[in-house]
Chains A and B, each alone.
Chain A
């Protein structure tokens, strides 16, 4: 096994990977950009090296610098996490050329699955069902509009090199198409350096169901069940659960077989995810394969009892999978809530800034993966995800109740977050019934009723008044005159300290 591994990522996933490394007795090497100097991943790592300024293209995407750090620090392998370099075939190739193990698939598999139009062709050959759509990238908005009209609205415009909802637009009307097409191209170009987009039919009321696959370099491939990732906003997942509550056992069997076939079609090695749309008739269509670890992998870990990062490392080290498909059993139900620095009440506008205080939940079967801490800054330069909150329960209702309890314990102050929105979603009837589709979030907003007053309305105001009164008392006691500026939390002690120093100075003289 490796003795030292470089983690080419940031945020919570870098910390999560390093935790497994430490458990396995492997030293971790972090790379970081200048503004991430004070981030948790740098604090957690055994070694850490700065690779450039804030812009990802000059730091987290600098293959040459990252490989140089790996060589100089003596790391034998690089774990790319997700995003950044995780799905870039040239990076996998560059690692191989430098004699460093890339913890992920071989370059050809990334390339084959990374270009969505190419992936569609491959999957068609492997007998995997597909959503109707344009076969290749379309450059002109007018040509694309013709295609869109043929397959009838609504349609989805997607970046060929995309992921994470970037460069993706749903269009319902022909008159909105050209503007959306141009916006998607621009977003794709800025996010992936590749402005190619294609158009596909938008399947109505679908669920987004994905299968986790794991393949070793000896030809063995298993799936570790599915995840339902239908709760999305702006085409990005915010809540995931496993298993999918509406998936019939026979459909699960068929989808699992198709997922393995899809992975084997590209001789896949490592952990990967096959994403499908599942419609109301239990028909499913291949969406794409993510050739990396997923954000939501912890819910699979919860129901399977496996550590996917540990297995990735073993596979990368040439070991055989220690189990067969029949050995794998799913147990109970897991839910993940992604906690974002954003304002759900203003169209999920990002809300980066200083995190004044962070107190994570605890207790039975609660897992919090984060990359920040009290008085850390949620940077404007990167994704607004603060943490992933994951719970396990004996069944779905148990897991929902536990997640609500965990969310209620979370304290994140200073920036806007979606914690209250998560609580609202978990109380929603559609979600509780499990029958929601990928249109869930807009449907929830549309069906919102007037908020009923709660006891907290009164007590919260009382708390603000009492807190203010206590602050004013401290200022009075410490000799602050009524004309002094307002005392406030942490800075108050500094003011007192300053006054104390002044007094001391006077006495000494």
Chain B
């Protein structure tokens, strides 16, 4: 018997799973609902489940700490913690970061224009930068309201995913 935790609206949702035999599991969800699951993996990263006679052929693979589940064109990215990881999260190790002052680039590309200067007061959602990626210009908006504290890139500069573009002080 092992416990797992998925993100809920307020508290994490707890699941418990027991392996009945190889490939057969009993899972109990947050509401106490119980599932008998017959599962196998046809190829790494895919999982097929039979649940109460229903056939679910899905993709379920871990990418960047989340399990991406895909079924008939629909996708869900779910972070699943086991008991040990849950304890670590409670202890504040590897916990989620609060939204900081940094506006990070969501894409790799080239800065074509900067629409704000140091000291400017910006509103949340206001366009502060334009980045060209894949030959299209994309407006990047302030992730929060505040005063521009620093502009860390210049027009024409190439940026990667996660590059700090601008910092906004509250």
Contacts and interface: CB of A to CB of B under 8 A. Distances in A.
Contacts of B46: 357, 411
A463 B72 CA distance: 14
Contact of B56 (A190, A350, A459): A459
Size class of B's contact patch? Answer: 35 or more
Contact of B108 (A190, A380, A459, A460): A380
B91 interface: no
A482 interface: yes
* Main DSSP-derived SS at the A contact region: helix
B135 A383 contact: yes
Interface core residue of A359, A407, A467, A470 (most chain B CB under 10 Å): A467
B164 interface: no
B136 A468 contact: no
A28 to B, nearest CB: 26
* Main DSSP-derived SS at the B contact region: strand
Contact of A469 (B2, B58, B63, B72): B2
A166 B136 contact: yes
B150 to A, nearest CB: 24
B44 A490 contact: yes
Nearest to A234: B136
Contacts of A460: 58, 69, 71, 74, 76, 78
Contacts of A469: 2, 4, 17, 19, 25, 27
A471 B17 CA distance: 13
Given A408-B72, A459-B49, A469-B17, A464 B61 contact: no
Interface stretch (B33-41, B95-103, B116-124): B33-41
A72 to B, nearest CB: 30
Interface core residue of B47, B67, B73 (most chain A CB under 10 Å): B73
Size class of A's contact patch? Answer: 35 or more
Contact of A380 (B37, B61, B72, B109): B109
A252 interface: no
A486 interface: yes
Interface in A301-353: 346-347, 349-352
A497 to B, nearest CB: 14
Interface of A: 165-166, 183, 186-187, 190-191, 234, 346-347, 349-352, 356-357, 359, 380-384, 407-414, 419-420, 422-423, 454, 456-473, 482-483, 486, 488-490, 493
A-B pairs, top 10 by smallest CB distance, nearest first, are: A408-B72, A467-B60, A464-B67, A464-B78, A488-B62, A468-B80, A460-B76, A380-B108, A469-B17, A460-B69
28 contacts: A190-B112, A346-B106, A349-B107, A350-B133, A350-B136, A351-B107, A352-B107, A357-B46, A380-B107, A382-B134, A408-B73, A411-B70, A414-B63, A456-B71, A456-B72, A461-B78, A462-B15, A463-B60, A465-B6, A466-B60, A467-B69, A468-B80, A468-B82, A469-B27, A470-B47, A471-B62, A473-B19, A488-B62
